[in-house]
Structure 1
Amino acid sequence: MRARRGRRLAWRPYCVNFQGTVSAMDIREQQRTYEGFLRLATRISVASVMILAGMALFLV
């Protein structure tokens, strides 16, 4: 039998404990990760709009 690697489960957004339920800390960690993703996506979209506006002003 091959040994299981614990790191393969690290990509999942939350962990399930032995009772099969999700703990509040895991949910909070998932929400924090999602908030960081939304913050990054917002910054990228704002930066792209500013770049496009600058290009439009430069070309006009």
Structure 2
Amino acid sequence: MDAAELIRQAIDQGADAIVGPDWVPEAMDPAFEAVVAANIPLIIYNAGGIDAADRLGAMN
């Protein structure tokens, strides 16, 4: 199972917040965008700094 799928499962289970690395943005960004769309706080790390966080609507 890939990390993006685990994030989607966390959304479906009503996570209070999600924290994860954005090492492969083309694979992870759609899942992270879904987190933000679900109004779940998102914290990313190892992700290209504040520019990546701002692009996704995440905290860094």
Structure showing greater Rg = 1
Q: Same fold (TM over 0.5)?
A: no
Structure showing the higher strand proportion among its residues: 2
Which of the pair has the greater relative contact order for Cα pairs under 8 Å at 6+ separation? 2
TM-score (norm 1): 0.24
Structure showing the higher helix proportion among its residues: 1
